[in-house]
Amino acid sequence: VSSGQKTNLHTVTKAIKMAGGITPSADIRQIRVRRLTRAGTEQIIKVDLWQLLQNGDLNQDLVLESGDTIYVPVADEVNLDELAEVTASSFSPGNLKINLIGEVVNPGVISMVPNSTLNQALLAAGGFNQGRAETEEVELIRLNPNGTVTRRQVQVDFSAEVNEETNPTLLNNDVILVGRSGRAALTDNVRGVLTPFSPINRILGIFLDIFD
């Protein structure tokens, strides 16, 4: 989003949504909110949206005050090929932390061995919620070392061997977003099943809002 923009919206993510969302070059770990205190001094507040998206830390979605300025820095470039090599190396983390959000049987953070795949993560979470999940494709969201976020749609094929198109190897802190089927979404809207006050639904909504 553009820097130097003042807003009187309620939270950082709502302001980012109104400004057009996060760009691929944004460092979402190093967002700053500049605030003028009553004493006339300037206060700089750090916001790490990755902690919000990965760990559910809703405290990162700072409540804004009138006159606040949000600065979203541009990240340094990252070599994705080198990132994959480091993840597979002997000095990478012993286990991967993968977060599954949405219509799986057991959503949340799971621990997996290095070089695990998307299919393995979906199965480890109990598989899709039958009758509710969008089973044809999921979204893979990845935080790069420079703070940028890469996101892509992956066609699901549980019979596939390891490949980048339908069963990619996962990296530490990857997020897999499993959406609702059209029928489930319609039913929920009619019944009022989902409420904006649920923490899980709020985080899911933030994903959809700021990365669109």
Q: Read out DSSP for 178-203?
A: EPBPHHHHHHHHHHT---TTSHHHHH
pLDDT of residue 210: 73
**Per-residue pLDDT reduced to its tens digit, 33-81:** 999 988 989 999 999 988 887 777 889 999 999 999 999 998 877 656 6
Edge to edge, what strands does the sheet with 69-71 contain?
A: 5-6, 69-71, 31-36, 42-47
Q: What CATH code is carried by the domain that includes residue 97?
A: 3.10.560.10
pLDDT of residue 119: 98
Domain that holds residue 41: 5-71
**Per-residue pLDDT reduced to its tens digit, 103-152:** 999 999 999 998 899 999 999 999 999 988 999 999 999 887 777 888 89
CA distance linking residue 200 with residue 52, whole number of Å: 11
Grade residue 153 by pLDDT with cuts at 50, 70 and 90: very high
Same domain, 100 and 160: yes
Nearest CA to 168 out of 124, 116, 127 is that of 116
Residue 212 lies in a domain: no
